[in-house]
Amino acid sequence: MTPSGLLVAGVSFAVFRGLHWGLQLLSTPRSAAQHLWKWRNVCVSLVHSLLTGTGALLGLSLYPQMVTDPIHDHPPWALSLVAVSVGYFLADGADMLQNQTLDQVWDLLCHHLVVVSCLSTAILSGHYVGFSMVSLLLELNSACLHLRKLLLLSHQVPSLAFTIASWATLATLASFRLVPLGWMSLWLFRQRHHVPLALGVLGGIGLVTVGVMSIILGARILVSDVLRSRSHPSTPGHKEIEGTRTCDGEPARPDHWDNSILSLKD
């Protein structure tokens, strides 16, 4: 990793760990008292998603060359944004180790290891940074997922805020998750002869997997938040189960899982 990338990742790690610690000093909603750690962890994840998702959207808008040449063409700050994500995933892994047992989070830790390894490879080589920036667009959908999760943890179901969050999640899932996934899949197929075989196979598996999971995720949210709520308007219909998201139709920590799969393409 370049010295500047290492520095940015280190600062990012310290900042996100500071956020994890700082949130312990702040009061949390009484309704979320039974899930204090999860509330704080999702809040930090929301900050990361807003930062990197918005940064990726602005960056790609200001520097569209990263789309036309996602392998080589990128400005220095794009590397920094990728390094910020590396620092976040390291900090999030440390937070899980501190507050959860290894048996509870071993799969997420493995996923975080894959994320850090893939993004660090992109930073080390200086290639596929534009591709990484496109994958960070999915964080805009993850931000909506985080917000929806916070509303669930604080028992704000049913409510206008939750309804808006649900529709925003579905809208961004289509525009900032499925569309980028489709573009990346098409690009990888067209450039298969110019991409190393190992990266191509790994990226293809990741794209197919996260694409299928994203469609399933969207369908489950549509059923649980829209169709089921219309069928039972007086019943909240969302019960949070510790360690899972069966109520949401989502696997545990789906935002992290999705991002890890996308990182395999870098």
23 vs 120, which has greater pLDDT? 23
pLDDT of res. 1? 52
What are 88-141's pLDDT values in tens digits? 999 999 999 999 888 888 877 877 777 777 778 788 888 889 988 998 999 999
CB 261 within 8 A of CB 206: yes
Q: Please, which pLDDT band fits residue 6 given cuts at 50, 70 and 90?
A: confident
- Domain hosting residue 116, numbered range: 3-263
Of 183, 17, 185, the residue nearest 95 (C-alpha):
17
Q: From the centroid of its chain, how far is CA 17?
A: 18
Q: Please, which pLDDT band fits residue 166 given cuts at 50, 70 and 90?
A: very high
Asked if the model's pLDDT at residue 48 lies above 60, the reply is yes
pTM comes to 0.81
Q: List the end-to-end C-alpha distance of the chain, in Å, as a whole number.
A: 15
Q: From the centroid of its chain, how far is CA 127?
A: 21
CA atoms within 13 A on the CB side of 226: 14
CB 188 within 8 A of CB 200: yes
Number of separate domains in the chain: 1
Please state, in angstroms and rounded to a whole number, the distance separating the CA atoms of residues 97 and 99: 6
| DSSP percent split of the chain into helix, strand, coil, nearest 5 | 80, 0, 20
How many other CB atoms sit within 10 Å of the CB of residue 210? 24
Of 111, 119, 114, the residue nearest 78 (C-alpha):
119
214 vs 68, which has greater pLDDT? 68
3-state secondary structure of 250: strand
Please state, in angstroms and rounded to a whole number, the distance separating the CA atoms of residues 14 and 242: 28
Find the DSSP H helices in 100-234.
102-125, 129-135, 138-153, 160-173, 179-190, 197-221, 228-231
Burial of 183 (0-12, 13-18, 19+ CB in 10 A): middle
pLDDT of res. 247? 34
What are 142-156's pLDDT values in tens digits? 999 999 999 999 888
Can you tell me which residue has the tokens 């996260």?
210
Joined together, the tokens standing for residue 249 give: 């139709």
How many other CB atoms sit within 10 Å of the CB of residue 73? 15
